[in-house]
Structures are given as C-alpha cells and as structure tokens.
C-alpha cells in the first residue's frame, strides 16, 4: 500500500479532521465532485439525469458506526422514506446500506430488525444492497446477510477482492443464491488478511469475477455486479461475458457518482447494465477521504479548489 494511501486512510478515521475539515469551503467544493448534494432531493435529481442516459442508480445515505439506538432507528426510517420516494418517482433506483449505520455496533439483532423493516418495504424486482465495511465487520455482515437471504431473496452483498478470505466467502454463499457486488476494497487492511499489492488485488478480482459470472449463468448467483472504475478490467470482463454467451444486459458494472462518467455512459450505450452509486448526506468526511485515498491525484484537484477560493 502506498504511503499516501496509508496516510489518507488513517486521516479518514481522524475525529478532529472529521469535525473540522468539513467546514472549509474548498473541501466542500471538492466533495461536490463525488456527490450531487447532501439531500435526498439532490440524489433524486442526479438519478433523473442518469436515467436519461439509460444509467440505473443506487442511493446511499452516508454514515457509519452509529452508536445510538435512536439514530440507527432514524436512519432506518429515512431509508423507508427513500424507498417511498423512489417508488413514487418511477426511477430505476436501488439502495445500498451500511450495517454499522443501522446499529451493528450496538447489537446484531437490533441491526437485523432495522434491516428487516427496509427489506419489507423493498420492491420484489429490486435489490437492497449491503455494503462491506472494514475487516472486523466481515463475519457479522455475512452472518446478517445469510440470515436475510433465507427470508428475503432480494438482498445483495458487497465482497472485497483484496481479502484472502473472499474466495471462500463466495463459495459459501453460492448455495444460498446470493446477489454479489464485487469491489477491490476501500479500507486499510494488514497484509496478514489482504493482498498488499495492487496487481494481486486485480488478479484476485478477475478470478472471483469469473466465478461469479459462471454462477450467474447457472442461476446460482442472482445478480453478479462489478463495482469498479478500472476500465481495462471492465473491458476484460465484458469480453469474457460476451465470449461466455451472456446477454449484454446481464453484465452489470456499478461505479461511483462523478468517477469515469464517460465509461458509465459508454457501457449503457453498448447495452450493458450500467449503474451509479449516488451518495448523499451530511456525514461525508470518512467516505470522501477514502475516495481521495483511492486516487491520491485527487489531492491536486482539492488543491486547485483551495487556490480558487
């Protein structure tokens, strides 16, 4: 892991920065590249723009590590409202939730109860995605995911290619007919549990993606979605999908709002399923700094905003 990435990932957890950096106008201007605004209305506006380009959307209300029951219950109510608004709008929009925002740090059962309320309101033809957080949460997240799948088939999980364990996790999940979003992984993890070199993460991603596509072809994986901006990898996977006889609409790529916009549109124009995760909310600091860590060149973009102020 590069030193800069390491420093930024440590900064993403810093309480002082979280409370203070968000007040600087140049930081707020920089974050606007990755999110259309802090409100649900801003996210709905962005989703409408994406829909005009045949790009689906996924909403996430930023927040994590909630330690207060009332706040986790409030987040749950917010997502119920989000599902109502999506339904009203007729948009092709799903949601993606973080379990620590729904009370995972408080109790597994409490978190599951909150999640169940959300599933109960979800539509049958749309998935509620569950994000994967730092490695200390993987077991609990998979536990809740497996519990959920036995009652609610329309729930998807995010898995991280940088973890050595993910190959086994995919194989354990397949008999349950999961939906999986595969990502490289965004947290600071030690080499004992995660590939430290980018080339190994990329190789792991490709192998896991092939397993997921083979499972999708035989109905063992309901939806295999690839959450990445790595255009070379996406092209390799798209070629593999076409060679394996996949209908284009069954090859799904999910990206983050504001990143690789041209490729998002290109995929949609080509007939693949292109979806964009639209984040919104006021608790954006740790999420934003993880985006900086993914591409330290983004710091130049932030510096330009500083000098433009």
Ligand X SMILES: Cc1cc2nc3c(=O)[nH]c(=O)nc-3n(C[C@H](O)[C@H](O)[C@H](O)COP(=O)(O)OP(=O)(O)OC[C@H]3O[C@@H](n4cnc5c(N)ncnc54)[C@H](O)[C@@H]3O)c2cc1C
- Rank residues 92 and 219 by Cβ distance to ligand X and give the closer one: 92
- Regarding 229 and contact with ligand X (CB under 6 A), the answer is yes
Q: Which stretch binds ligand X (CB under 6 A): 23-31, 40-48, 115-123, 178-186?
A: 178-186
Distance, C-alpha 70 to centroid of its chain: 25
- Rank residues 145 and 187 by Cβ distance to ligand X and give the closer one: 187
First-last CA distance in the chain: 32
Using CB under 6 A, which of 132, 173, 180, 241 touches ligand X? 132
Using CB under 6 A, which of 145, 187, 284, 287 touches ligand X? 187
- Regarding 169 and contact with ligand X (CB under 6 A), the answer is no
Q: Shortest distance, CB of residue 73 to ligand X, whole angstroms?
A: 22
Using CB under 6 A, which of 142, 173, 183, 241 touches ligand X? 183
- Regarding 273 and contact with ligand X (CB under 6 A), the answer is no
Q: Shortest distance, CB of residue 67 to ligand X, whole angstroms?
A: 20
Say how far apart CA 18 and CA 284 lie, in whole Å. Answer: 9
- Token readout for 35 is 């999110």
DSSP per-residue string spanning 170-236: HHHHGGG--EEEEE---S---TTTB--SHHHHHHHHHHHHHHHHHHHHTTSSSEEEEE---HHHHHH
Q: How many residues bind ligand X (CB under 6 A)?
A: 22
Using CB under 6 A, which of 9, 277, 279, 289 touches ligand X? 277
- Regarding 291 and contact with ligand X (CB under 6 A), the answer is yes
- Regarding 248 and contact with ligand X (CB under 6 A), the answer is no
Strand 179-183 and strand 56-61: pairing?
unpaired
Give residues in contact with ligand X (CB under 6 A).
131-132, 158, 160, 183-187, 227-230, 254-256, 259, 277, 291, 294-295, 298
The residues carrying an active-site annotation are: 131, 181
């Amino acid at each position: 892991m590069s030193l800069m990435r390491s420093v930024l990932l440590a900064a993403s957890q810093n309480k002082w920065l979280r409370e203070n950096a968000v007040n600087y106008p140049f930081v707020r201007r920089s974050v606007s590249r990755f999110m259309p605004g802090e409100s649900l209305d801003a996210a709905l506006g962005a989703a409408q723009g994406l829909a005009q380009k045949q790009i689906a959307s996924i909403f996430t209300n930023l927040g994590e590590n909630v330690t207060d029951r009332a706040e986790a219950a409030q987040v749950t109510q917010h997502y119920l409202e989000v599902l109502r608004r999506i339904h009203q709008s007729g948009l092709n929009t799903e949601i993606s939730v973080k379990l620590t925002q729904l009370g995972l740090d408080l109790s597994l059962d409490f978190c599951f109860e909150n999640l169940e309320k959300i599933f109960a309101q979800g539509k049958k033809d749309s998935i509620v995605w569950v994000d994967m957080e730092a490695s200390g949460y993987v077991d609990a997240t998979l536990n809740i995911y497996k519990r959920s799948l036995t009652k609610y088939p329309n729930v998807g999980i995010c898995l991280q290619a940088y973890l050595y364990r993910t190959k086994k996790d995919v194989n354990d999940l397949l008999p349950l007919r999961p939906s999986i979003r595969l990502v490289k992984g965004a947290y600071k993890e030690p080499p004992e549990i995660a590939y430290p070199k980018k080339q190994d993460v990329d190789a792991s991603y490709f192998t896991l993606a092939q397993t997921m596509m083979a499972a999708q072809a035989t109905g063992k994986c309901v939806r295999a979605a690839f959450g990445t901006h790595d255009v070379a990898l996406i092209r390799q996977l798209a070629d593999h999908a076409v060679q394996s006889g996949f209908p284009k609409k069954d090859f799904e790529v999910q990206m983050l709002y504001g990143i690789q916009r041209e490729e998002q549109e290109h995929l949609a124009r080509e007939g693949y399923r292109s979806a964009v995760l639209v984040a919104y909310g006021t608790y954006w600091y740790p999420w934003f700094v993880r985006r900086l860590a993914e591409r330290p060149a983004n710091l130049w973009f932030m510096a330009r905003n500083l000098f433009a102020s």
